[in-house]
Structure 1
């Protein structure tokens, strides 16, 4: 057999990664459509670079805001408004680590799929309202509108969501949406979030949880394996005996994330994958509204 070229291999890998993209995009659009009826548009005038509208001059406006070319075509004086850019747009990071591909039941989505649906859905809502969205560390610049949303969705579908993307280019005072289970190197997250807050940036932490991670319903002889196989499997003879210790550790992890978010000015929203995405999407949109 001929040896595959690097380009062919990359294409196959990309196709495999994007295989679930149409279904995820359709689900995100469905969830966004359900929520959209209850929210309002955000477009308004303000500081920015993109033209929004002409409006009649007001005495409170400075003279350098007058558009003399437009005013010359009528008897009125007009001001050129640019579109308000809320906190320099929203930058999204969706964790793509091995642990995010896990689910405790075939009836549930993986944590990665649910995080993808929610981040795509909030992007859909915000781009409809004229906001600009980018994938942190991967998008060349924030985009708005349907075309911008489509390009962002394609990039998100292919994104590996590596943690080093958190070091990507980020304007000062940008808004962030970080979606993860925050279980990969949990002790390192306070430092990562502090580094983002120092840039400075703020926004929303979306904590994705599989119900079994919270309740630990396992019984009997169970073998546990780490995502990605970086450690040898661990065998428990009677898993139920470890339940209380596990729950305390998981609650401590969640509480630490809560305290870190509060101290750094992030809004924390939790979502369990056995719950419908609509209420969480509404909470995400409302949190973005409050932070703008």
Structure 2
């Protein structure tokens, strides 16, 4: 019994980015935004709040109309309106093509990431890729280019984020099953954090990877076919598998917490809207 077949060349080269873009647009449209703002003072023309004047405030910042209604002076503050750069990496390795129910991990990760990019673009943010191939920009053409970028596939078994072209003080969204080299991931994310890049890690898993339903004689083979393991009784592997998965998730959560990032887990049999909501709000508090 094969747990999953290797990719063939035609599958590796397939691209479904128009369908991906359509699904991401629908997901973004279904997301109720409410107010969008940085919720911190800064240059802009959108009113945020009045606060009592403090020593050092310039006279021109005093709102005299509001101050006239009280016994103290008030400063009018607007919300920060500077555009933020948000850079994406969606794992396009062979492992991400796995699916036990129709939608691959990559397709789900790409749909969520692209829907998030659409929402950010609508809010005036600049979006692009973390590898520098698509520098952060705004506009519909940029979203189409991003859809093509996250829909590409490779024949590598597992992926590692490309973070060499992250912009200092930007935001990063990295989506993967994170089954690859953890040391390489830690090194690259730590390097990004040193550039004051803040971000999120989204771990996308298939239900079969959560249930481990294999029994009896089973041949496990990586999606690219480079790794093989035959077990006479797959049931015996279940405890060790679950322990390894839990340890990997804990390591990712600890890495994110140590660097001030956030870590989320999403299963492809769950609504994509939940992950989109989590990511959007995670970035909202960092903008």
Normalised-by-shorter TM-score class: 0.7 to 0.9
Counterpart in 1 of 2:141? 147
Counterpart in 2 of 1:133? 127
Residue 27 (1) aligns with residue 23 (2)? yes
Highest relative contact order (Cα 8 Å, sep 6+), 1 or 2?
2
Instruction: Give CA-to-partner distance per residue, 1:191-212, whole Å, 9 cap, x none.
Output: 2221221223111111111122
Which of residues 101, 108, 113 is equivalent to 2:107? Answer: 113
Q: CA RMSD in A?
A: 3.0
Distance change (3 Å), C-alpha of 1:129 and 1:54: closer
Do the aligned partners of residues 164 and 279 (structure 1) sit closer, same or farther apart at CA in structure 2, a change above 3 Å counting?
A: closer
Pairing 1:289–2:279 present: no
Instruction: Report matched runs for 1:1-292 at 5 Å.
Output: 16-18=13-15, 20-35=16-31, 37-42=32-37, 46=42, 59-60=60-61, 83-86=81-84, 89-103=85-99, 105=100, 107-158=101-152, 160=154, 163=160, 165-167=162-164, 169-231=165-227, 233-292=228-287
CA distance in 1, matches of 2:236, 2:34: 47
Q: What TM-score results when the alignment is normalised by the length of structure 2?
A: 0.77
Judging by fraction of residues, say which structure has more helix: 1
Contact (CA 8 Å) 2:105, 2:205: kept in 1 or not?
yes
Q: Using the TM superposition, give the Cα deviation of residue 83 of structure 1 relative to its aligned residue in structure 2, in angstroms.
A: 4.6
8 Å contact from structure 2 (residues 166, 192) kept in 1: no
Preserved contact between residue 179 and residue 206 of structure 1 (Cα < 8 Å):
yes
> What's the TM-score once normalised by structure 1's chain length?
0.76
Q: Distance in 2 between matches of 1:15 and 1:254?
A: 28
Structure 1: distance between partners of 2:220 and 2:276: 32
8 Å contact kept, 1:43–1:130:
no
Structure 1 residues 114, 54: CA separation in 2 closer, same or farther (over 3 Å shift)? closer
Tell me the matched-pair count: 248
Consecutive unaligned residues of structure 2, counting only runs of 5 or more, are 1-8, 48-58, 63-78
Aligned equivalents of 1:265, 1:43: Cα separation in 2: 18
Aligned-partner SS, 2:135: coil
Whether the 8 Å contact between 2:94 and 2:153 is mirrored in structure 1 is no
Structure 1 runs, 4 residues or longer, greater than 6 Å off: 12-15, 52-55
Return 208-217 or 90-99, whichever deviates more: 208-217
In structure 1, how many angstroms separate the alpha carbons of the residues matched to 2:213 and 2:46? 61
Q: Aligned-pair distance for 1:150? A: 2.2
Q: For 1:176 and 1:116, how far apart are their aligned partners in 2?
A: 14
Distance across 2 between alignment mates of 1:122 and 1:129: 11
